[in-house]
Amino acid sequence: MLNISDLSSEFEDRRSAILDYERETSGELEEYKKALPNLDRADASLNSALPQYSGAKIFEPGETIRRFLPAAAWNDRQDAMEWVDSVLAGVAVGSADGSQIYPDKNYGLPIAVVQIGSVRNRHTEESEYAQSTSATLITPDEFADAEVYAFSKAFVDARRFALECDALIDLMHTTGTDTDTDRDTDMDDDRIYLLLDGTLVPSHINALRANVKEIYLDAMRRLLDASNETGNPVIGYVDVSVQRDVVTMMRHIYGLPETKRLFDPVLFAGRLNWGDRTKAFVCNRDDRRGADSPSVLDMYAEHRDSIAFFYMQMGDLPSRIEFPVWCADDTDEIDRIADIIRAETIIRGSYPDILMVAHRNAVITTGEHSLFYRMLNRFCTEHGIAAYTGAKQVHKELDKGMSRESGSTGAHRNR
């Protein structure tokens, strides 16, 4: 049980440290916000003067803040949904997401599950809509071959990410295979916009072991290769970003003080209304683990300078939208990506609908976790495999049983 009394005392005792952090952050923020209008005049000609790891580079010239004008004419949700229909009609959109059951040492065997849910919606009158769910076991030999800890969560997370990328690649290659002879075979009609729930530049992997990191890198390189080859945009959607790529770039351009507190979304918060976006930048992040080690982007080979991004107001803070530069080489194409994200978000109310559908298809419930371990125990029994259950886990199961029994008795008494 959480000790509320201690926490209340801790907040009071550490009040000055928290307030000092907020005051110092506010001071830095004001200085950077004063320089923000200067970005309106910044274009790609400045990029050659930036250092190797400048945080970002200029991709899209012109005004930094791009207003979303259609929203001003909406009187109600019906008006918004009519706009959604005009944007998504005939446009193929897809996504994939995953969930997992980590290996549990309380059950003795290092076996994990990864489940991937994918969805594709062409937004046509024929309701060309498809979704699927697939589950994969990760077995003890795979942990051993990867030379990782037998109950490694990091390895399972990496495998999940790779399988999510595989599902997106499959959608890229299957989107134009319909047998409907009436379908226009123009490339634009066959293009599918694919949303990844997360970033295209996963900086956290630089803290992982080399063999686990390589799983992420291989998956991302294959995903970007497939996007380039098929012409299908892959779009990374980061609901809450803690990156400071634009902040770092502004420090280099305008000689601002270095900051470890400011993040890009905070810089643009208050400047954007719902649906407004920033101009687009190219990611040039320094996430190295030491001066002699490579950044994540350094390991992207020919895709090193290929990830563009902008921020767009969808909720309390601007969300980060990422895409390969070849997917949108002018403002009209960037606006098209932004409109698709806006439309998907209006459907759901606060988050892209296509991402939520993929998540719902992939999720593994708590009850299904228990079902998996019952399946595992039965499999071991049937095949004479020695398995055990830790004492702590036995007590957890007993506690659950007693809680259910107590709840049932309480419900009976309340009748």
Mean pLDDT to the nearest integer, 100-120: 92
Mean pLDDT to the nearest integer, 252-279: 94
Higher pLDDT, 250 or 402: 250
Name the percent of the chain lying above pLDDT 70.
89
Model-wide pTM > 0.95: no
Residue 405's pLDDT is 55
Mean pLDDT to the nearest integer, 39-54: 94
Mean pLDDT to the nearest integer, 245-263: 94
Which helix H or strand E contains 313, and what residues bound it? Answer: strand 307-313
Q: Which of 22-36, 51-65, 182-196 has the highest mean pLDDT?
A: 51-65
In this structure, of 50-64, 170-184, 190-204, 311-325, the range with the lowest mean pLDDT score is 170-184
Q: Are 224 and 233 in contact (CB under 8 A)?
A: no
Binning pLDDT at 50, 70 and 90, where does residue 125 land?
Answer: confident
Mean pLDDT to the nearest integer, 267-277: 94
Residue 129's pLDDT is 86
How many residues make up the chain in this entry? Answer: 415
Binning pLDDT at 50, 70 and 90, where does residue 21 land?
Answer: confident
Other C-beta atoms closer than 10 Å to the C-beta of 53 total: 15
In this structure, of 23-32, 326-335, 368-377, the range with the lowest mean pLDDT score is 23-32
Residue 179's pLDDT is 39
Check pLDDT > 50 for residue 19.
yes
Which helix H or strand E contains 321, and what residues bound it? Answer: strand 318-324
Residue 406's pLDDT is 55
pLDDT digits (tens, 9 = 90+) for 149-172: 989 999 999 999 999 999 999 999
Reference 173, options 190, 185, 195, 161; nearest CA is 190
Mean pLDDT to the nearest integer, 14-42: 86
In this structure, of 169-173, 252-256, 306-310, 395-399, the range with the lowest mean pLDDT score is 395-399
Binning pLDDT at 50, 70 and 90, where does residue 128 land?
Answer: confident
Kindly state the tokens that stand for 184: 């226009």
Higher pLDDT, 126 or 67: 67
Q: What is the mean pLDDT of the chain?
A: 89
Residue 192's pLDDT is 95
Binning pLDDT at 50, 70 and 90, where does residue 188 land?
Answer: low
Residue 205's pLDDT is 96
Check pLDDT > 80 for residue 91.
yes
